[in-house]
Structure formats: structure tokens, C-alpha cells
Amino acid sequence: MIAAFTSTWDSFPNWAPALRRAMPGVEFRAAPAIGDPAEIEVAVVWWPPPGWLASLPNLRLILSQGAGVDHILADPLLPRHVPIIRLVDPYMTRSMVEYVIFQVLRLHLKEPEFRRQQSRHIWRELTPPNAEHRRVGILGLGELGAAAAVALAALGFDMAGWSRSPKNLPGVASFSGAEALDSFLARSEILVCLVPLTAATRGILGRATFDRLPRGAGVINAGRGGHLVEADLLAALASGQISEAVLDVFETEPLPADHPFWDHPQIVVTPHVAARTNPFTAAEAMAGNLRRLVAGEEFPDLVDPDVGY
Ligand code: NDP
Ligand code: OXD
């Protein structure tokens, strides 16, 4: 079997040892030098050039290099009959759990405020509530959101999550569907975004959402830049409706050097590192899906292009 690799975030030499170790029977070719396109049966991709997947006439499987698949579904010429598999990798899930715990604790324990006080030599005791009196909400209770929510519940936080379908997770109140969004937001003093970027979720971190949060809420976006309406965040920070924001993902990445987020005292910027794909563990997950393809088995992590994730 021959597979092609294309990526805008990482190089083929970084991936080749991992792919070859996990799938020793597969020949990998890096775009654009893939030889005869008709020989390619599997594509391992991150932001494939529009039309590139459609140029592979015998393609049988598309493997995403990331958990999100908006980079694939954005292709207007996407061959919709070819199964798309998103990346589900326990290593990546643990990274996201660590990131979310770290950022929630920072906001909960008022670390940004203490930093600002220190820079002005101010000794002012601020006392955060205990975790059980801090209401945290996670938009998205999938692979990553559910794991983060359960971990925060285990730390004692008053947890809730919002998803399309109801969930039954230990210590996590479940809110599902558009009709439950307002009541979910009304109780979220710290809001974490971990939904996929779809037509239904684009711009979800905008004024309508911010206005429904308790005054002074914190916002953590580890989903996608397209979830955030940047001007609405700046306005909500200026008005005090939002107190702090932690942003890992941006509409334009890398974040342009002159972007106002860089120097904003109430914004923490991290460079899309909440859960970076690890080629070695990702290649293991991909190998499992290749085995399923060959065996004709169902894919547990199959994407539904009509729903967008
Ligand atoms: P999953 O597909 O496992 O979970 C998505 C969750 O979002 C599900 O709970 C789903 O509901 C919910 N959801 C989707 N659409 C809606 C909607 N319209 N209304 C309510 N809930 C909705 O995704 P993952 O957890 O694996 O990943 C989530 C996202 O995290 C990725 O798409 C990606 O954008 C981002 N990500 C960011 C990384 C980073 O480093 N910053 C790294 C990896 C991922 P239901 O359960 O009912 O289907
Ligand atoms: C992903 C990501 O989707 O890295 O995996 O954001």
C-alpha cells in the first residue's frame, strides 16, 4: 500500500520514522513528490492544498494529523465518498487535560491578578473560593472536553459541560443542545471552549455568549480561532464582562506580530500547543485505522462531513 503525506505544520522528515515504525508495510511519499497519483490509497494530512485529495483517484482513507478536521472539510473539492478519520490519541488527550487544568487553576487562583499586582509592587490579599464553589463549564464534551471535565471534577470544581447529545460523566452536569446553552453559560464562571469548528460553532465565543456569562468570567479557547469573535472579546474585556482570556488558537496562525492580543494585560497567548500531535503516538492510532480499512471494519473515529466533525 502507498500513502501520501502533506502538512502545513510539520515536515515529512519529522514524521517518517514514526510512520514507518507503526506501518512497516506501507510506502510513504511526501507531497508534492508523490509519483503517480493513482497509486495513492491513503492520505495523512494537515491542511491539504484545496483539490489535492480530489486529485488522488484511488484514495480509500484520509487520516487527519490532528483531532480537529476543519482543515480537511474546508476543501471545496473534498472527495466526500472517502472516509475521514480524526485523530484520537490518549497522549494528546492527556496533554489537553494538563493544559486545561493548568489554565483553569491559574484563573481560579487569580494568578493573572497577582502578576499584575507584583509588577506594581502591590500587596493585596485576594482570596479565591474553594474549588467546589467555582463553576467551570466546558463547551464540548468529546474526547478532549470530557477528559478535562472529569479531571477538573476530580479536583473538586463544580463542573458542567455542553454537547449536542446528553452525557453521563462523573461529577459533570450535562447540558445538551442549543436550548440548554443559555443556562449552561449562566453558571460558567470559567468557560473552556473545546468544540470542533463547524458551521454551528463558528463565532460561538462572541458577544451573545459573553453577555450570558456571570460578570467577570474567564474564557479559555483551546478549540479553534474561528470560534472567537476577536473584537467582541476586546470589548468584553474593556467592559469588565470578561476578566481574563487564555487563547491557544487564532484565526491567523502564527498570530501576527502587531496583533493587539500580544500586549493585552488580560490575555494570555499560547502558540497552539494545548495538545500538540506527537507523530509517534499519532502514527500508532493511524496504524489501527489502516488495519480496520484492510479488515473492512468500522472506524470508531469516523468524521461525518455533514455535521462537520
Ligand atoms: P470530539 O469530536 O471528540 O468532541 C466534540 C464535542 O463537541 C462533542 O461533545 C460534541 O457533542 C460537541 N459539539 C460539536 N458540535 C456541537 C454543537 N453544535 N453544539 C454542542 N456541542 C457540540 O472532538 P475532540 O474533543 O477530540 O476535539 C475538540 C476540538 O479541540 C477539535 O475539533 C479541535 O478544534 C480542538 N483541538 C485543539 C488542540 C489544541 O492544541 N489547541 C488540539 C486538539 C484539538 P456530541 O458529544 O454530542 O457529539
Ligand atoms: C488538532 C490540533 O486539531 O492540533 O489536533 O489543533
71 catalytic, yes or no? no
Q: Which percentage of the chain shows pLDDT scores above 90?
A: 100
Report pLDDT digits (tens) over 204-245.
Answer: 999 999 999 999 999 999 999 999 999 999 999 999 999 999
Q: Kindly name the residue from 71, 86, 227, 272 that is annotated as catalytic.
A: 272
- Separation of 128 CA from ligand 2 center, angstroms? 32
Report pLDDT digits (tens) over 28-68.
Answer: 999 999 999 999 999 999 999 999 999 999 999 999 999 99
Query: What pLDDT does 32 receive?
Result: 96
Domain 2-89+277-295 classified CATH 3.40.50.1110?
no
Question: Looking at residues 130-153, what average pLDDT do you find?
Answer: 98
List residues near ligand 2 (CB under 6 A).
66-68, 87, 277
The confidence band for 4, taking pLDDT boundaries of 50, 70 and 90, is very high
Q: Three-class SS of residue 173?
A: strand
Query: What pLDDT does 167 receive?
Result: 98
| Domain layout of the chain by residue ranges | 2-89+277-295, 91-269
Nearest CA to ligand 2 atom 2: 66
Q: Kindly name the residue from 71, 86, 106, 224 that is annotated as catalytic.
A: 224
Q: Report the amino acid identity of residue 203.
A: G
Tell if the pTM clears 0.95, that is, is over it: yes
Q: Is 248 in the pocket of ligand 1 (CB under 6 A)?
A: yes
Query: What pLDDT does 79 receive?
Result: 98
Q: Of all atoms in ligand 1, which is nearest to the CA of residue 66?
A: 43
Query: What pLDDT does 185 receive?
Result: 98
Report pLDDT digits (tens) over 98-120.
Answer: 999 999 999 999 999 999 999 99
Quote the CA–CA distance of 83 and 23 in Å, as a whole number: 19
Q: Three-class SS of residue 192?
A: strand
Hey, what CATH topology would domain 91-269 get? Rossmann fold (3.40.50)
Query: What pLDDT does 83 receive?
Result: 98
Report pLDDT digits (tens) over 115-139.
Answer: 999 999 999 999 999 999 999 999 9
Compute the mean pLDDT over every residue in the chain, rounded to the nearest whole number: 98
Q: Is 143 in the pocket of ligand 1 (CB under 6 A)?
A: yes
Same fold, 2-89+277-295 and 91-269: yes
Nearest CA to ligand 2 atom 5: 66
Q: Which residues contact 194 (CB under 8 A, 6 or more apart)?
A: 96, 100, 138, 139, 140, 142, 144, 145, 148, 222, 223
272 catalytic, yes or no? yes
152 burial level (CB within 10 Å; 0-12, 13-18, 19+): buried
Pocket test for ligand 1, best of 65, 96, 163 (most atoms within 8 A of CB): 163
